[in-house]
Amino acid sequence: MTVINPYYLQLDDLILATFSHHVETLTGLRTVPQRRRKTRYTASRHGSDDFDPFFDELRLPIDISLWPWDEDGGEVAVFGAVGQLQANWDDLVAVVTKRGPVDVRQTLPVVDPEESGESVLEVQAYGRFDRTVMATTSHSRWRISTDLVLPWPFWHELPKVELAADTSHSFITGGTAPIGNMRLIFSEDATVTHTETGHKIGTEGMDGTQVIVDVRQRKVFQDGQLAMGLLRLDGPDYWMEWPARSQVTLSASAPVAVEFWNCRL
């Protein structure tokens, strides 16, 4: 496949960087998302404390051009240019009108400090589309404008980091954005302590084989079923967040597996 666009974006299986579909303009791709403005409070020993709110969604206005060729620049439709434009339109609309999240991926050139050279990094986010309109049409190009909305405004670096069950974990986070997407996997009741902050998160009352604490979703599942009553937190709304490029040390009262993605802006 011939890639001709520096914005190497992929929506599900559709790549927006070829002769058939490519990004014309994209606004806000390198924007630090705003924190939510509404202040929240947690109970403390001497009253209540406000804490850093979570980030708002990231809205990316994007213009996509459709051309009367296939991905590699050939015209293959029976009805010529208009037929190929229609086929390319159908491919795009099937993604833009999808009910549920769209798998959004981007390929980034990065410097690999371990190898002292450049490498390629694939990042992933989940998005949805809002406000799609046809901007311009001609016999040789169709162009649409839409908003790609990322409810969680950071990109996940691939692959996912997976740490086997243990009573202690020590690692250095990567990426450039805070990490709040981890999953803690319990096979028995345990408490996990974040050594750098002293905060704790754990489970109590398990009667199944596995409990997953999904920090990103703010949910707890026992053997695949929602089980919020098993959760034990340090404070009313303290889950967990790790800074980027920082040392993280976790200790647990029983073996716990940890999964997370390093995050980027």
User: How far is it, in rounded angstroms, from Cα 179 to Cα 175?
Assistant: 9
Is the same domain home to 99 and 218? no
Is the same domain home to 242 and 166? yes
The larger pLDDT score, comparing residue 154 to residue 49, is at 154
What's the chain's length in residues?
Answer: 265
Q: Is 4 inside any structural domain? A: no
Give the mean model confidence (pLDDT) for residues 23-48.
68
Is the same domain home to 68 and 124? yes
Give the mean model confidence (pLDDT) for residues 162-176.
95
CATH number at residue 170: 2.60.120.860
**pLDDT at residue 113 above 80?**
no
Q: Is 113 inside any structural domain? A: yes
Is the same domain home to 120 and 136? yes
Instruction: Name the average pLDDT for the chain.
Output: 85
Give the mean model confidence (pLDDT) for residues 40-67.
69
pLDDT at 76: 66
Give the mean model confidence (pLDDT) for residues 14-24.
90
Exposure string for 136-166, b = 16+ CB within 10 A, e = fewer: eeeeeebbbbbbbbbebbbbbbeeeeebebe
Q: pLDDT category, 51, cuts 50, 70, 90?
A: very low
User: How far is it, in rounded angstroms, from Cα 190 to Cα 49?
Assistant: 27
Give the mean model confidence (pLDDT) for residues 71-78.
74
Give the mean model confidence (pLDDT) for residues 212-220.
91
Is the same domain home to 17 and 141? yes
CATH number at residue 29: 2.40.30.200
Which of 129, 153, 177 is the last residue in one of the domains? 153
Which residues form the domain of 142? 9-153
